[in-house]
Amino acid sequence: MKTDIQIAQENEMEPITKVAAQLGIREDDIELYGRYKAKLSDELIERVRENPDGKLVLVTAINPTPAGEGKTTTSIGLAQAMAKRNKKAILALREPSLGPCFGIKGGAAGGGFAQVVPMEDLNLHFTGDFHAITSANNLLAAMLDNHIQQGNALGIDPRQVVWKRCLDMNDRALRNVVVGLGSKADGMVREDHFVITVASEIMAVLCLADDMEDLKRRLGRMIVAYSFSGKPVTAADLQAVGAMAALLKDALKPNLIQTLEHTPAIVHGGPFANIAHGCNSVRATKTALKLADITITEAGFGADLGAEKFFDIKCRMSGLKPDAVVLVATVRALKYNGGVPKTELSDENLSALQKGIVNLEKHIENLQKYGVPIIVTLNSFVTDTEAEVSYIESFCRERGCDFALSEVWAKGGEGGLALADRVIDALENKESHFQTLYDDALPLKEKIETIAREIYGADGVTYSAAAAKELKRIGELGMGDFPVCMAKTQYSLSDDQKKLGRPEHFTVNVREVYASAGAGFVVAILGAIMTMPGLPKEPAANRIDVDAEGRITGLF
């Protein structure tokens, strides 16, 4: 059986100019990065702004398991299937982070015969967007420490510096560091921290900004520290906005690539959903809606994280309104939630399936709260049995959801036709009554508790003393009407990754809270989640290599 990277490398890509032409995009509307990648120009985005919007389809999933769910694969296969049904479709996806590529997860370009290409470029340096974000983040950190060193005119309290440096790599040793060691000329000694680039506020800001002016306004509002008098100090106070914007000028432009079947794909931005807001850029999604009749996008990890943030943060801020939601599950993952070890997931086990399907049930209930038509799709594996598939289909239909089997990994677009037909039916014959989960005016604590109770199924929320104190300060600073971005484990509906299925009788603990004033949301960190991940005992990097001809192997 061929690996994903072998399939991708054997694929004959179309020149990106030809892919762009499918959308009515001229060659002078794009900025080429070689033959197969391009950025969409600001002029194009402005020109299509008055075009009518197409339909918006969100693809989400149950909680991820070691068995794999295939959310991105399903998104890509669905877009390919739409093209086979003669629909003008486009993908709007996130860019992968280097952290998972070299860590435990591997690449993030889909799988099998449902991939976006060039796969290696996308998973590695791509068009340099993440490098630009990393550079802008660390420029601000350098200017902050330099300001303190050069007299500290703003009266910054070194004990209340909240801006962190970043790196797009899993490196646990950088979570907590000390900077300024050495002589007096080397800066003030203080504790500092690193986050992974996809958790940087600049990533969130770039993904929520409408244009350069909006980007600069958001960059300027970012809080970097507090003064000795307790006043917030911003990037604008440090006069860092212009230089950061210069670094981000090209990164703000969405990227265009293609699927294995040459369906257009806009891939832009990449905040993690477990520690950030988990959606591709607003600019990419809005542009996609203007260029095609159907836009298929995704949100990271399970629906308790990615979909909730897509609805309650991205849609709230941008005015986007989804027309349908595809919820991805697998027989294997549901049996894993039912207590079956990973080594035995290929065996038929209806008893375990009945125990584990409660995870799917909770996600269905959650999505129904947003008023959008739901199609559950089962990402097919050869070990699935007819009895298992039939049981899941009946379960979904009893709960008012449409259902389709997806075989896109093995068959590409052809394997997604049944799913495409169900989605098309929903778009043409069902109304979306989209609504967010909570009102802007709700106090921050009540927003956190609404998400915990309604989405996670928690009995309540506890707060560390530091988190409670910071929530009070954020409210007093006038940010109480912000939405909340919950940072928690992706593996469970709770904040404990070991609680599988549909946990009951639990509370979640808010360990830390901080305001992302530029992004426009408040982050609540739950349980043991880390904003700088670490590498596993055997990282994926151990298996990656380049041969004498320059061909990369082992990336996925």
Report, as residue numbers or ranges, the catalytic residues. 71, 73, 94, 105, 273, 301, 381, 409
- The maximal CA–CA distance of the chain, rounded, in angstroms, is 72
Three-class secondary structure of residue 5 per DSSP: helix
Q: Which residues contact 553 (CB under 8 A, 6 or more apart)?
A: 5, 544, 545, 546, 547
**499 has which bridge partners?**
none
Q: Is 149 helix (H, G, I), strand (E, B) or coil?
A: helix
N-to-C CA span, the chain: 13
Q: Name residues whose C-beta falls within 8 Å of residue 361's C-beta, 6 or more positions apart in sequence.
A: 395, 399, 502
The CA distance from 534 to 196, in Å, is 10
CA angle, residues 121, 124, 130, in degrees to nearest 5: 110
Q: Are the CB atoms for 405 and 418 separated by under 8 Å?
A: yes
- For 125, other C-beta atoms within 10 Å of its C-beta total 12
Q: Could you tell me where the beta strands, DSSP code E, fall in 28-155?
A: 30-32, 38-40, 55-61, 89-93, 110-111, 114-117
- Residues 445, 453: contact at Cβ < 8 Å? no
Task: Choose among 431, 400, 402, 432: nearest CA to 419.
Answer: 402
Judge whether 367 and 396 are in contact, CB under 8 Å.
no
Task: Give Cα 205 distance to the centre of its chain.
Answer: 14
Is residue 95 within 8 A of residue 281, CB to CB? The reply is no
Of 496, 490, 503, nearest to 457 by C-alpha is 503
Distance CA 488, CA 183 (A): 40
The H or E element containing residue 207 is helix 201-208
DSSP string of 270-297, one letter each residue:
---TTTS--B--HHHHHHHHHH-SEEEE
Is the CB of residue 122 less than 8 Å from the CB of residue 33? Answer: no
Angle between helix 241-248 and 212-221 (nearest 10): 130
Q: Hey, what are 126's tokens?
A: 């791509």
CA distance 278 to 308: 10
